[in-house]
Amino acid sequence: MVKKLTAKEALEMKDAVFIDTRSPKEFAEDNIPHSISSPIFTNEERKVIGTLYRKDQDQAYDLGLGIYQTKVEDFIKKYKEFDSSKPIIVYCWRGGLRSETITKLIESLGHEVYQLEGGYKAFREIIRDELKEYRPPFKLMVLQGLAGCGKTDLIKKIKPSIDLEGLAAHRSSLFGALGLKPQTQKMFESRLWEQLQELKNEKIVFIEGEAKKIGNICVPKYLFEAMEKADTINIQTSLQNRVKRIVRDYFTHEEDAQIKEIIIKLKVQLSNKAVEELCAFVDAKNYEPVAEHLLVNYYDERYDHANKDLKYAGEINNDSVDLAVKEFEKLKIKFN
């Protein structure tokens, strides 16, 4: 009989290696942080077995067993290479046959191994419940500023910090997905939860000001409310620097067709003539006039309207990221 752990026990186990036996598609949607993907079935195999299962469970089981047996030698070879000093925790969707089968196999190789009771589903319930009621135990300091001022660049260098856009793989704007593959809501929440666990003993944490949604990703309610009440630092830099940063972030991914599609949707805000001119600049790969026009005539106006009542606890010039980071170190000492 395989040994089992609850999701809470598993997440508290130090140095454990998590093995995800679900299909690649399931793994890509979300997984326990730092898990190793070791699927028993491919996406197509899982689909075929699932369809058959709804008609005849015995035939589905036999088909699944047959597929597994063709792969078992590869699994053995793979698991023999694992560090025997570290406990292994195996999971599937809800603690069923897939994870039980691999747990037994790894156990036969002499490893300390456990099956995750309730599988990924149990882990997901913990994440959902904890984020639903999450209140930051530390003081938040929010970076605000016009588009292109370099808030994200700073967040990546300032410690401790939370990079919500990095976790979402989206830059929180109409052009925010260019050059990126946005995460699912579930994956965002799992990685955010992991980071919040790492930061729980901090006194001050920096975070970039965001709307309630980053692309299609929703920020947890109480975290967002804490951001709205937090001290805010105004990040400033020249228009020239902002333009260069926008070009770097949005217009260097060989996605001109998508850029033009987004610009065309802004006809109401920018006028037909402006849209035609901007698209022509894109065709000529002359991106700086595009970035400047969008900043001055679209993003800045929206930012000023949304933040007209915002009061700042401080201001930092970001013409030099390195100098700005030093200013944040001083700020952290001041507010500690």
107 and 153 part of one domain: no
Domain that holds residue 64: 4-129
Residue 110 CA to residue 99 CA, distance in Å, equals 17
* Sign of the alpha-carbon dihedral angle for 293, 295, 297, 299: positive
38 and 150 part of one domain: no
Q: Which of 80, 102, 129 is the last residue of a domain?
A: 129
Report mean pLDDT in 10-residue bins for the chain, 336 residues. 96 96 98 98 97 95 96 97 95 97 97 98 98 96 96 95 97 92 97 97 95 96 96 96 96 95 94 96 97 96 88 94 92 77
Model confidence, pTM: 0.94
Q: Is 318 helix (H, G, I), strand (E, B) or coil?
A: coil
Q: What is the CATH number of the domain that holds 275?
A: 3.40.50.300
161 and 199 part of one domain: yes
Phi and psi, residue 55, nearest 5°: -100, -40
88 and 113 part of one domain: yes
Q: Which of 129, 160, 179 is the last residue of a domain?
A: 129
Q: What is the CATH number of the domain that holds 23?
A: 3.40.250.10
47 and 157 part of one domain: no
Residues forming beta bridges with residue 19, ordered by sequence position: 36, 90
pLDDT at position 333 is 77
162 and 296 part of one domain: yes
Report the run of H or E that residue 205 belongs to, with start and end.
Answer: strand 204-208
212 and 287 part of one domain: yes
pLDDT at position 330 is 86
71 and 148 part of one domain: no
Q: Which of 85, 104, 129 is the last residue of a domain?
A: 129
- In the sheet that holds 139-144, the strands lie side by side as 161-162, 204-208, 139-144, 231-236, 314-317
122 and 157 part of one domain: no
329 and 251 part of one domain: yes
Residue 170 CA to residue 280 CA, distance in Å, equals 26
pLDDT at position 23 is 98
pLDDT at position 331 is 83
pLDDT at position 335 is 74
201 and 314 part of one domain: yes
Give how many domains the chain has, as a whole number.
2
